[in-house]
């Protein structure tokens, strides 16, 4: 169904004899879930092992074959007219003439998709839409176990007998993410993959539905079409499923900043996807991507009496206190009042710059070094007196691609290079809004303060805070950042040999697990070791 092949009518009979008229699923066959592997639950018919999707697909294929044979016979008998002045185009038979325009249109769309063409997209704000969806979804069902049970009871399909060499792809699309082209992405991906592999995230459906369906599928991979907030949502859901070998996650960047997608080499937006060959090329990159590891961090907020002030939060990218969080909070409030102004990625950045400029003359953070106390691994760290904000970073991208730590710089301090899987965080400081602006255009660098595994921040006055782009105003408190877990991610392999080696090693380990040479736990340990040494 998804091989994307065009077969001449005269060649079809020979092809059907050679292949048995069985579709090999085309160049993306390792990522595609065959309809023969989908079983419909509570099936009342005699043939309960084949899903209705398979039944419909076979019926459609049978009809198509019948029409092709019919057209072939008519063509050989000369009953189909051919314009003498044309290039040999055959008029469609009368039984499908009414659908010819739609069929041609669909064929053109399939050709565009196979060639990797994407329509023009208008990227807009992502993180807040993600966070709103996440909040609404998680608050609707407070008990995760109850939610999993509810999902399981309403499951319509079961996946069975997946070939051992297959790596089926589970796709999550957040249509409210920055580009806001979820419907278009879903339609394209349902053409390139089995439609049952594509799930749209929303208020009524989170990632749990897809993860429950794929729970027993060995070696499946996940593609998240969204921004950093959507990725965090999916990673949280994967963790709750308690997989013995969690699936690795790739990212199709559809947000505003897309910082995590940038460090994993998936690009900074959908525009770069088109330049790299479109969705077909992205799927091939996902198939051959290298498995790497991302540290995830737990943020606990307590009052002066040591009582929890809110549920713990989890960080993948960064955590900021002070001037940078103030801009994020102002933008958040502006978006709540005027959501229509946030319709493109470019406009979002303009509004960020505008809010930053308004805060340049603000004296809110003149006493920041005295209002905030920083402790790392039990040692007190002095905050420079000209600082107006600090940022705790886990990855090498901030504000849409700014590298705050700059591993490649030759500096005289004793700090280690930054890594997203060394169970260590980096802390830097800013001197104000002008400093942030200069950082974004590459005219300055952040002040390195410390590295550590356990971070404690004491706030003595009300202060703006943001975690992975989610801002709020925080009352005086003590914030503790500690290592939570590590998640498997997929990194797009570039041309360097190391990336290809890591990708091949991951495939070898999965084959070894299939053959019973190693266990899932051993494979997980080895993947961690490969990621820490090579990526």
Confidence of residue 79 (pLDDT cuts 50, 70, 90): very low
Sequence-ordered alpha helix ranges (H) in 246-392? 259-263, 270-275, 278-287, 323-337, 345-358, 368-371
311 and 424 in a single domain? The answer is: yes
More confident of the two residues 89 and 252 = 252
Q: What is the rounded CA–CA span in Å between residue 167 and residue 155? A: 22
Q: Compute how many other C-beta atoms are within 10 angstroms of the C-beta atom of residue 16.
A: 15
pLDDT at 48 (0 to 100): 40
69 within domain boundaries: no
pLDDT digits (tens, 9 = 90+) for 335-349: 767 666 655 555 555
More confident of the two residues 76 and 419 = 419
Q: What is the rounded CA–CA span in Å between residue 369 and residue 340? A: 37
What does the pLDDT average to over 411-431? 87
Q: In CATH, what number is assigned to the domain containing residue 311?
A: 2.60.200.40
242 within domain boundaries: yes
199 and 253 in a single domain? The answer is: yes
21 within domain boundaries: no
124 within domain boundaries: no
CA neighbor of 207 nearest in space, from 235, 245, 243: 235
- List b or e across 243-268, with b for residues whose CB sees 16 or more CB atoms inside 10 angstroms: bebbbbbbbbbbbbbbbbbbbbbbbb
43 within domain boundaries: no
**What DSSP element (H or E) covers 425?**
strand 425-430
197 within domain boundaries: yes
456 and 365 in a single domain? The answer is: yes
Residue with tokens 């107006």: 388
pLDDT at 139 (0 to 100): 39
Using alpha carbons, list the distances in angstroms from residue 172 to 160, 226, 230, 250, 485: 21, 8, 9, 10, 22
244 and 163 in a single domain? The answer is: yes
Q: What is the pTM of this model?
A: 0.77
Q: Compute how many other C-beta atoms are within 10 angstroms of the C-beta atom of residue 143.
A: 9
225 and 358 in a single domain? The answer is: no
Q: Which of 85-99, 125-139, 443-457 has the lowest mean pLDDT?
A: 85-99
**Of 233, 266, 288, which residue is a domain's last?**
288
**DSSP secondary structure letters along 316-350:** SSEEEEEHHHHHHHHHHHHHHH-GGG--SHHHHHH
224 and 324 in a single domain? The answer is: no
Domain that holds residue 206: 157-288
Q: Compute how many other C-beta atoms are within 10 angstroms of the C-beta atom of residue 416.
A: 12
pLDDT digits (tens, 9 = 90+) for 38-75: 888 865 443 443 444 444 445 544 554 455 455 444 44
Number of domains in the chain: 2
What percent of the chain lies above the pLDDT cut of 70?
68
């Amino acid at each position: 169904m998804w091989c994307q092949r065009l077969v001449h009518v005269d060649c079809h009979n020979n092809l059907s004899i050679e292949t048995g008229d069985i579709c090999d699923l085309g160049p993306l066959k390792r990522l595609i879930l065959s309809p023969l592997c989908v079983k419909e639950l509570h099936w009342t018919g005699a043939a309960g092992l084949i899903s209705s999707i398979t039944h419909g697909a076979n019926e459609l294929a049978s009809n198509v074959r019948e029409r092709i044979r019919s057209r072939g016979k008519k063509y050989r008998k000369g009953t189909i007219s051919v314009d003498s002045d044309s290039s040999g185009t055959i008029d469609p038979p009368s039984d499908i003439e009414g659908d010819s325009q739609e069929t041609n249109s669909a064929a053109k769309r399939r050709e565009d998709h196979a060639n990797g063409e994407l329509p023009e997209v208008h990227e807009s704000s992502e993180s807040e839409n993600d966070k709103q969806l996440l909040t609404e979804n998680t608050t609707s069902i407070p008990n995760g176990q109850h939610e999993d049970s509810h999902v399981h009871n309403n499951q319509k399909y079961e996946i069975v007998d997946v070939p051992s060499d297959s790596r089926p792809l589970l796709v999550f699309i957040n249509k409210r993410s920055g580009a806001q082209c979820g419907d278009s992405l879903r339609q394209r991906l349902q053409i390139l993959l089995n439609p049952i592999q594509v799930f749209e995230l929303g208020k009524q459906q989170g990632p749990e539905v897809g993860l429950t369906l794929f729970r027993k599928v060995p070696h499946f991979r996940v593609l998240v079409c969204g921004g950093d907030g959507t990725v965090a949502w999916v990673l949280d859901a994967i963790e709750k499923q308690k997989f013995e070998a969690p699936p690795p996650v790739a990212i199709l960047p559809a947000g505003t900043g897309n910082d995590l997608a940038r460090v994993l080499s998936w690009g900074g937006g959908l525009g770069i996807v088109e330049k790299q060959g479109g969705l077909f090329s992205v799927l091939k990159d996902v198939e051959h991507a290298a498995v790497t590891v991302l540290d995830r961090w737990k943020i606990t907020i307590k009052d002066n009496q040591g009582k929890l002030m809110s549920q713990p939060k989890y960080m993948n990218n960064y955590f900021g206190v002070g001037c940078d969080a103030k801009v994020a909070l102002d933008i958040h409030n502006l978006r709540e009042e005027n959501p229509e102004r946030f319709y493109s990625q470019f406009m979002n950045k303009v509004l960020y710059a505008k809010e930053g400029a308004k805060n340049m003359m603000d004296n809110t953070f003149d006493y920041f070094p005295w209002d905030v106390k920083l402790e790392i691994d039990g040692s007190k760290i002095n905050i420079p007196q000209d600082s107006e904000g600090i940022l705790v970073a886990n990855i090498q991208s901030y504000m849409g691609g700014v590298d705050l730590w700059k591993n490649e710089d030759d500096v005289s301090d004793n700090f280690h290079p930054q890594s997203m899987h060394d169970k260590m965080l980096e802390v830097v400081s800013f001197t104000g809004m002008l400093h942030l602006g200069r950082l974004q255009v590459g005219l300055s660098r952040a002040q390195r303060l410390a590295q550590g595994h356990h971070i404690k921040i004491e706030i003595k006055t009300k202060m703006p805070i943001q975690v992975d782009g989610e801002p709020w105003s925080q009352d005086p408190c003590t914030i503790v950042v500690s290592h939570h877990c590590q998640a498997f991610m997929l990194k797009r392999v570039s041309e360097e040999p190391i990336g290809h080696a890591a990708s091949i090693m991951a495939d070898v380990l999965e084959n070894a697990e299939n053959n019973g040479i190693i266990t899932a736990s051993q494979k997980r340990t080895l993947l961690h070791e490969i990621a820490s040494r090579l990526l």
